């Protein structure tokens, strides 16, 4: 069982782009780690590997023991909006091997199949994953998904971690799946805790603020609702539905506010 912290830091979004300097990403990761954050999540799809490189740079001067480093496989990004999915055994192995190189580690603590569907969970994939685990490339397996895919993932029984939205706008069925997962001993890693509706446009104060504008233009135009980020973290941490609650930020001020939310509980 991984030693999860209540809050986890996502090295994603603008951290995979030149909108944020690498030194800034590294400094935020170090500050979060010093404050007791143990979970750091990233993915090859975040900036086509750039976010993993940044987490790897930060790890060079951190004590790895006690940290939970999580990355994903199955989804890669290219260009500004391109996404390619491939859950074949060869693609997963190639992806994980490249992630380990970028992160500068021999193995990650958690490997998440990024948006995998039930049909993609083949026996050859299972065999390859077992081989990779036995070789030390990862310790625990999770899946990132939402809705019906969570139910299916629980049925298959491959995963001990689910990465999924946890916010006040979930319906009863969605809450029931999360409760069922936890009752089965499957850990829930919460994302999108402020809700599934897009954030309102905000005043541009830094280059990093261009990233949400870009996402807004290319993302979903609707959702069920949205609350403030800190309120979302507070609600998710207190919900009893999640073992770890992820957030991301490019700002030290937001990092400190978010850390204080967990301390106050
Ligand atoms: N597996 C998946 O498919 C998947 C999908 C989504 C997310 N994730 C993971 O979950 C992590 C969190 O993602 P999320 O979607 O839940 O993002 P989030 O933490 O809700 O962050 C969204 C935005 O909120 C801003 N923010 C952070 N703290 C704030 C504060 N105290 N006050 C005001 N604004 C604040 C950040 O911008 P500033 O830079 O301005 O602070 C950030 O860009 C990601 O990093 C990733 O690791 C995984």
- The stretch 3-24 carries a mean pLDDT of 97
Q: Which has more confidence, 78 or 112?
A: 112
Q: Tell me, what's the pLDDT at 221?
A: 61
**Residue (of 39, 34, 33) closest to 5 by Cα position:** 39
CATH architecture of 7-264: Alpha-Beta Barrel (3.20)
**What is the dihedral sign for C-alpha 54, 59, 65, 66?**
negative
Please return the burial class of 8, using the count of CB atoms within 10 Å of its CB with bins 0-12, 13-18 and 19+. buried
- The stretch 177-204 carries a mean pLDDT of 91
Q: What is the DSSP letter of 221?
A: S
Q: How far is the CA of 228 from the centre of ligand 1 (A)?
A: 11
- The stretch 227-234 carries a mean pLDDT of 97
pLDDT at 14 over 70: yes
* 17 Cβ closer than 6 Å to some ligand 1 atom: no
pLDDT at 73 over 90: yes
Q: Tell me, what's the pLDDT at 229?
A: 97
**Residue (of 168, 174, 189) closest to 114 by Cα position:** 189
pLDDT band for position 206 (cuts 50, 70, 90)? confident
Annotation marks residue 138 as catalytic: no
pLDDT band for position 226 (cuts 50, 70, 90)? very high
**Residue (of 199, 192, 201, 196) closest to 223 by Cα position:** 196
% of residues, the chain, pLDDT over 70:
97
Look at residue 141 and give its three-state secondary structure.
strand
**Residue (of 189, 111, 122) closest to 150 by Cα position:** 189
Candidate of 142, 223, 254, 263 to mutate for ligand 1, largest count of ligand atoms within 8 Å of Cβ: 254
Q: Among 3-7, 16-20, 198-202, where is mean pLDDT lowest?
A: 198-202
Question: Structure pTM?
Answer: 0.95
What value does the mean pLDDT of the chain take? 94
pLDDT at 167 over 70: yes
Q: How many other C-beta atoms lie within 10 A of the C-beta of residue 197?
A: 16
């Amino acid at each position: 069982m991984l030693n999860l912290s209540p809050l986890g830091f996502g090295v994603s979004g603008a951290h995979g782009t030149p909108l944020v300097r690498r030194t800034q990403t590294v400094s935020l990761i170090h500050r979060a780690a010093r404050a007791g954050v143990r979970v750091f999540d990233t993915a090859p799809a975040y900036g086509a590997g750039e976010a993993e490189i940044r987490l790897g740079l930060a790890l060079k001067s951190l004590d790895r023991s006690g940290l939970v480093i999580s990355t994903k496989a199955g989804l890669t990004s290219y260009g500004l909006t391109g996404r390619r999915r491939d859950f074949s055994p060869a693609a997963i192995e190639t992806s994980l091997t490249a992630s380990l190189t970028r992160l500068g580690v021999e193995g990650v603590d958690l490997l998440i199949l990024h948006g995998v569907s039930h049909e993609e969970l083949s026996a050859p994939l299972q065999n390859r994953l077992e081989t990779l685990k036995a070789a030390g490339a990862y310790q625990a397996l999770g899946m990132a998904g939402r809705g019906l895919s969570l139910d299916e993932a629980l049925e298959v029984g491959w995963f001990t971690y689910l990465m999924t939205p946890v916010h006040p706008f979930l319906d009863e069925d969605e809450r029931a799946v999360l409760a069922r997962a936890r009752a089965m001993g499957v850990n829930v890693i919460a994302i999108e805790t402020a809700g599934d509706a897009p954030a309102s446009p905000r005043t541009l104060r830094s280059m990093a603020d261009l990233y949400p504008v870009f996402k807004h233009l290319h993302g979903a135009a609707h959702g069920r609702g949205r609350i403030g980020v800190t309120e979302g973290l507070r609600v998710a941490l207190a919900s009893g539905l999640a073992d770890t609650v992820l957030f991301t930020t490019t700002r030290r001020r937001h990092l400190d506010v978010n850390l204080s939310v967990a301390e106050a509980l």
